[in-house]
Amino acid sequence: MTVKEINNDLLRIYEEWLHCCAEKLNNQKPASKKHKEYANAYGYSAPFITGLPPRFENYDKKRILIYGQEAHNWLKFESYTSLKELQEEAIEYYNKNMNGQIKNSSPFWHMMRGLNEAFIPCWANLDKLHRVYQASDAFSQQLEFFEEEEKILLSPLSNNKNIIQNEIEIVNPEAIVFITGPDYHKATKYALGMPNYNTKKLVPNINGEVILELTPYAHTKNKIPVFWTYHPNFMNYHNLDEHIKNLIEKITNATN
C-alpha cells in the first residue's frame, strides 16, 4: 500500500473512533466528583491524528511506530475543521522536526531524531486527546486521564479492536515502541490488550529494566515486536543518548 492509501485508511478508522469514543468522552457525565471538576475546568483537546510521512514508503531502513504520551496544546475539541487537516498538521510538524526546519528541544524529539538515524519512525500518541490548559497553569499540565476516560478512548470499535490496535494493523511497522511515563501504564495495558499484565513493571526504576519487550503479552497482528521504555524526560537525567543506543540495538536484534 502507498502512504496515501495508508493515511486514508487511518482517517477512516479515526472517523469511527471519533464518533464511538472521543465524542462519547467529550459528552459524558463524569463518574467522580474530582473527574467532574477537572472536566469542567479544562475540557478536551482536538484529537491527535497520526499520519505517515512520504519517506515511510522507502525501504532503505526499518519502519517503526513510536507512541508518545500525548500532544500538548493541540487545539480545542470544538475548534478543528476536519480529521484530514489534523493529520496533515501532525505530518508537517514531524517533517519539520526531522529535516531541521524546526528543532523541538524536548527529550522526546531528541529521542525521535536519534531513532531516525537508524530507522524510519512514525509518530503516534497513546492518548489521542489531552486536557486543554493555559500555559501559565502548571497544575493542569500534570492532569493525566482518569482510568474511566482511558477505557472510553480505548473501547473496541466495530472490528473488536481498539484504536491503537487498528493503527498498528494499518501502519504495519516492523517494530513498535511505547515511550511513556508511569501515568500511562494502565492505558498501555488497555491499548495492547494485556488485561493481566503487571503494570508495576512500567514505572521508573533506574536500577531495574529500562527497556521491556512486551511482544509475548501484546495482542498485535503477526506478533510485531513491541517495546516499552521510560519517557525521555526521565531518561534525560540518566544518559539519554546511551539509552537511545541501547534501544536501537534491541529493536535491531528483534527485527533481524
Q: Order the strands of the 175-179 sheet from edge to edge.
A: 120-125, 63-68, 175-179, 226-229, 211-213
Q: What is the pLDDT of residue 25?
A: 75
State the pairing for strand pair 211-213/120-125: unpaired
**How many domains are contained in the chain?**
1
Say what percent of the chain tops pLDDT 70: 82
35-44, 207-216, 224-233, 240-249: range with highest mean pLDDT = 240-249
CATH for 109: 3.40.470
Read off the pTM.
0.87
Cα–Cα distance measured from residue 210 to residue 45, given in angstroms and rounded to the nearest whole number: 31
In 3D, which of 174, 220, 168 has the Cα closest to residue 59? Answer: 174
Q: State the average pLDDT for the chain.
A: 83
51-91, pLDDT tens digit by residue?
Answer: 999 888 887 899 999 999 887 666 666 667 789 999 999 99
Question: What value does the CA radius of gyration of the chain take, rounded to a whole number of Å?
Answer: 17
Ranked by mean pLDDT, which of 5-19, 148-162, 174-188 comes out on top? Answer: 5-19
Residue 242 structural domain: 3-255
> Which residues face 136 on adjacent strands?
none
SS3 assignment, position 120: strand
